[in-house]
Structure 1
Amino acid sequence: MCLRTLGFVLVLFPGLFQAQGCDRPRLVHGNFLPRQETYSDRTKITYSCDNGYKPVVEGWWATSTCEHGKWSHEPQCIDESSCLPPTIPNGKYPENSNGWYEDGSRLRITCDGGFEHQNQITTTTCGNGKWSSAPVCERSMSACSAPPKIPHAVIIHGYQEVFAAGSEVQYECEDGYTAHTEKSVCIQGNWTPVPTCTYFCAVNTDDNPEYISVGTVYIENGEEKRVDCVKPSRFSLEHYSKVRCINGRVEATKCCSRVEHAAASLLCD
């Protein structure tokens, strides 16, 4: 029964397993080849425009490819006095939905973080098919390069080559290394000191009834720390354990559970 149903679906909807094609483009003031009513996926057409018009992409002729039911760019012929989108490295501007700008259009350029306008020029104007001197976004003197790499750490921020002054990045150590996060800030072209991620041991005092509960104690590799023990019942002497981290393994001296006389306190030192 299941096999029959599957076969019925395959016959009824064969198009589901075929790439979708494209309809013939509506090109005004131009012509294209090959001329067909429909085009299969990955078919490419070439077009050019009448006198006084130009393609909506660079060049006096252009190509467009059918990709999953849509043209890679909609073939268009625009007035020669119109402008194509300008290229502004490290800058952005409002994009026009039709992909081009009429003669006389003015764009205000905003520089990316870490960049600033050169010579305070912030706008460009379309005139007779060309843009006026476009603003230049140059790197700010107070910007920082990519933050320094720290062994055994990642930065919780998307990668950038340039960061604006005041930017913050957060370093996070990988598992098994210093279990805290640290921030570094870009100040006048330099990053504030960054953390180091060192191997550590974690001792949870809550899990050991001999220790005074203080939560988790982090001990760097090769380091020794004092962890206070619960005081013995007969005397108010303060006792502690020496806890050392050796290549991720914890070594600790034992705590005294009860002190029978003063001399026994030496065993806990």
Structure 2
Amino acid sequence: MCARRYLGFVLLVWFQGVLHVRTSTRPCSAPGLNGGYWVPEQDTYNHKAKIVYGCDNGRKPAVEGWWAKSTCEDGTWSPKPQCIDENACLPPSIPNAIYTVSTNGWYENKTRIRITCDKGYQDKQRDATAQCINGNWISMPVCEKSVLACGAPPQIPHAVIIFQGYQDVFAVDTELQYECEDGYSVDGSDTKTSIYCISGNWTEGPVCSKWGRGPGTEHGGSGHATSAASGTQSERGVYHCGNPPVVPNAAVVGIGEMSLRYQCSIYYKLVGPEVVVCHSDGTWSEAPSCKATFCSVDTDKNPELISMGVKYIRDGQKHKLPCVKKSYWITDHFYIWQCVDGRSSFSECCGLLGRSFDAC
């Protein structure tokens, strides 16, 4: 019995302590502001009290503007009142980019920072640095959408995209997975499939169809076709042959009474018959195949290339790939990468400096 009373007393004391911590509203002391002044000037300030401060000549607040505000938040001023050198810089605003954040919230004069564009964006002028000069940032980088990035993915009937959050730009090599709604599938069995961002374009999206269901199914039928005249079951139609042939990198884009029409994804070429027929004996005719019409290179595995992940180009195209070689008078060097019949070829590492591809 004593043990229970003791435990109850301990829990009561602990609960009151937690409650006290949660409701704590400590006052603030006067801010230690070097090189500045504030109003109202007091020794202590209540929780949620506000002050306004300015700075002496040659200094400025560590926020935008020539005056600033701060609020007492449970014993601490937020944001912290600071007067910094007028030639220092505040953090820059660079959309679609990240950079090293200063621990004190501002940057000394002549500080240089390097930015990294978000995925799907690239440096507009291939200049990834900015420098603080006399209170202003010069040579401010700009991150624009990469020519290899993709915009919003295509909308597929009877399907949704499985990913968290919405975005306008997707980096090259991005994979997005679609899932067909209940009762639909891609090829008669799978309900999920993916598309990929390749050189600024999305690969062909899936077609979600009601495989395995007859014309009467949509209205609660049994899954078999029925004759309007006699009501007898029909064993003809593409459903008579069961699941259709699976053609990698292709989708069914047309369904006839006894045939299917296939279409290859972007960057693939159809080889063989475009139409597959369901025979009366329940077998399918010969299915086509899809031949790749693009080339790829993994820059992370080639020590002579600037690491940028896996890159793709279409057959018959040329593309610049930055290489590590540099010289005193030409800073940017490239390999000229060409794709012919699905095979890659490269020039020597060349400093283009505004010249055409043929210069290499």
TM range (shorter): 0.5 to 0.7
| Equivalent residue, structure 2, for 1:96 | 102
1:190 aligns with 2:239: no
Structure 2 counterpart of 1:119, one-letter code: Q
Contact in 1 for aligned 2:62/2:82 (Cα 8 Å): yes
Are the counterparts in 1 of residues 212 and 223 from structure 2 also a CA contact under 8 Å? no
Q: Secondary structure at the match of 2:125?
A: helix
Deviates more, 1:85-94 or 1:53-62: 85-94
Following superposition, the deviation at residue 152 of structure 1 comes to 4.1
Shift of 1:98: 0.7
Equivalent positions of 1:20-99 (< 5 A) are: 20-24=25-29, 25-67=31-73, 69-99=75-105
* Code of the aligned partner of 1:167: T
Q: Distance in 2 between matches of 1:167 and 1:22?
A: 51
Alpha carbons 2:28, 2:74 under 8 Å: kept: no
Task: For 1:166 and 1:9, locate their aligned partners in 2 and report how far apart those are by CA, in whole Å.
Answer: 54
Deviation at residue 40 of structure 1 after TM alignment: 3.6
Judge conservation of contact 1:22–1:41 (CA < 8 Å) in 2. yes
Residue 72 of structure 1, CA deviation: 3.3
Q: 1:87 to 1:220 in 2, by over 3 A?
A: farther
Distance 1:103 1:82 in 2: 5
Q: What residue in structure 1 maps to residue 172 of structure 2?
A: 165
* C-alpha distance after superposition, 1:63-113 (max 9, x if no partner): 122345543321111111111111111121110111100111101111111
- Of the structure 1 ranges 23-32 and 50-59, higher mean CA displacement relative to structure 2 is found in 23-32
Q: Which has the higher contact order (CA 8 A, sep 6+)?
A: 1
- Structure 1 unaligned regions, length at least 5: 200-218, 224-243, 254-268
Whole-angstrom distance in 1 between the partners of 2:33 and 2:76: 15
Relative to structure 1, the CA distance from residue 184 to residue 251 in structure 2 (aligned partners, 3 Å threshold; closer, same or farther) is closer
- Counterpart Cα distance in 1 of 2:45 and 2:220: 65
Could you tell me how far apart the structure 2 residues matched to 1:148 and 1:79 are?
Answer: 51
Q: Paired residue for 2:192?
A: 181
Contact 1:47 1:63 (C-alpha < 8 Å) held by counterparts: yes
Q: What residue ranges of structure 2 are gaps of 5+ in the alignment?
A: 225-232, 234-281, 283-360
Distance in 1 separating the partners of 2:106 and 2:182? 51
Q: Secondary structure at the match of 1:162?
A: coil
Structure 1 CA distance, aligned partners of 2:221 and 2:28?
Answer: 69
Q: Which amino acid aligns with 1:169?
A: L
| Bigger Rg, which one | 1
Cα deviation code 1:19-63 (max 9, x no counterpart): 534523321111122234444443322111111111000101011
* C-alpha distance in 2 between matches for 1:47 and 1:128: 22
Task: Give the aligned residue type for 2:97.
Answer: G
Tell me which moved more, 31-40 or 98-107.
Answer: 31-40
Cα RMSD over matched residues? 3.3
SS at match of 2:144: strand
Counterpart amino acid of residue 54 in structure 1: K
Give 1:167 shift: 1.3
Instruction: Determine the C-alpha separation between the residues in 2 that align with 1:38 and 1:10.
Output: 30
C-alpha separation in 2, matches of 1:107 and 1:12: 46
What amino acid is aligned across from residue 59 of structure 2 in structure 1? Y
User: Equivalences for 1:10-21 in 2 at 5 Å?
Assistant: 15-16=20-21, 18=23, 20-21=25-26
Q: CA deviation at 1:175?
A: 4.7
Cα separation, 2, equivalents of 1:152 and 1:191: 16
Match of 2:162 in 1: 155
Q: What does residue 241 of structure 1 align with?
A: none
**2:179 partner SS:** strand
TM-score normalised by the chain length of structure 2: 0.51
Distance 1:184 1:111 in 2: 24
Percent identical pairs in the alignment equals 46
Match of 2:120 in 1: 114
- TM-score by length of structure 1 reads 0.67
* Count of equivalent residues: 215
